[in-house]
Amino acid sequence: MELDQLKNIWTQEDVSETPEISLEKQKEIHQPLEKIRKNMRMEFWSTAVFFLFIILFFILKDMHFFKFKVYIITLVSAQMLITSFYFFKFFNLYKNLTTVDLNTKDNLKDLGFQFKLNEQYYLSFYISFVPFVVCEMLLIFEFMPNLKNIGGAEFIFTFLGVCVFTLLSLYLLGNWWFKRFYGKYISQISQLLKALK
C-alpha cells in the first residue's frame, strides 16, 4: 500500500473523541468525592492524635515493669511505621482526588480503580495489625500480675479467647469504619459511573 492511500484511510476513519461527562454529572460525582476527602483528613488527624496520646501515656505512666514499658513503646512505634506507610498510600489517593479531572469516563474509570486499590490497602492494613495484637496480648499476659499466675489449659483458653475477641473486634471496627466513612460514597460514585455507560 502506498503512503497516500494510508493517509486517506487514516483521515476517513471516524476516530471518536473520548466521551465527555456533563457538568451536571460532574457535580453529582464531586459531592461524594468531597466527603471522602473530608473523611480522609479527619482520619489522618485522629490517628496522629491517637498515636501521640498512646506514646505519651506509656512514656509518662509509672509502671512497675520497665521491660513491659519498653516492649509496648517499641510495638506501638512499629505500628506507627506501618501506619505511616499506609498513610503515604492514602495521601496519594487524597492528592489524586483533589486533582482528578471529571471530564472523561476514562478518568472516572481510573478513579474507580484507585478506590478498589485503596480498599485492598485498607484490608491489608488491618491484617498487618494481627501480629502486633498477638504480641501485645502476650505482653499483657506475661506482665500483668493478675494474669501472670494463670497456667495450663486455663491460660491457653483465656489467651486464645482474648486474642480472637480482640482480632474480631478489630475486623468489625475496621469494616464498619470503611463502610461508614468511605464505602457508601464509593458506592454512590460507582452507581453514577454505571449510569454513564
Domain boundaries, the chain: 23-95+106-196
CA distance 84 to 50: 13
Q: Which residue has the higher pLDDT, 34 or 20?
A: 34
Radius of gyration of the chain (CA): 25
Does the pLDDT at position 25 exceed 70? no
Query: What share of the chain in percent tops pLDDT 90?
Result: 9
C-alpha cell at 96: 489524586
User: Residue 21's pLDDT band (boundaries 50, 70, 90)?
Assistant: low
C-alpha cell at 148: 501472670
Q: Which residue has the higher pLDDT, 8 or 151?
A: 151
Pick from 19, 195, 14: nearest CA to 107: 19
Q: Which residue is listed with cell 505482653? A: 139
- The 10s digit of each residue's pLDDT in 124-150 is 888 888 899 899 888 888 877 777 677
Q: Give this prediction's pTM.
A: 0.72
Give the pLDDT confidence score for residue 111 in this predicted structure: 81
Pick from 133, 130, 126, 134: nearest CA to 176: 126
User: Residue 165's pLDDT band (boundaries 50, 70, 90)?
Assistant: very high
Does the pLDDT at position 170 exceed 90? no
Alpha carbons within 13 A on the beta-carbon side of 121: 18
CA distance 77 to 55: 8
Give the pLDDT confidence score for residue 10 in this predicted structure: 55
Does the pLDDT at position 34 exceed 50? yes
- The 10s digit of each residue's pLDDT in 66-103 is 888 888 888 988 999 999 999 898 888 888 877 777 66
Contact between 37 and 29 under an 8 Å Cβ cutoff? The reply is no
Give the pLDDT confidence score for residue 17 in this predicted structure: 47
CA distance 54 to 97: 31
Q: Which residue has the higher pLDDT, 60 or 148?
A: 60
As a whole number, the mean pLDDT across the chain is 80
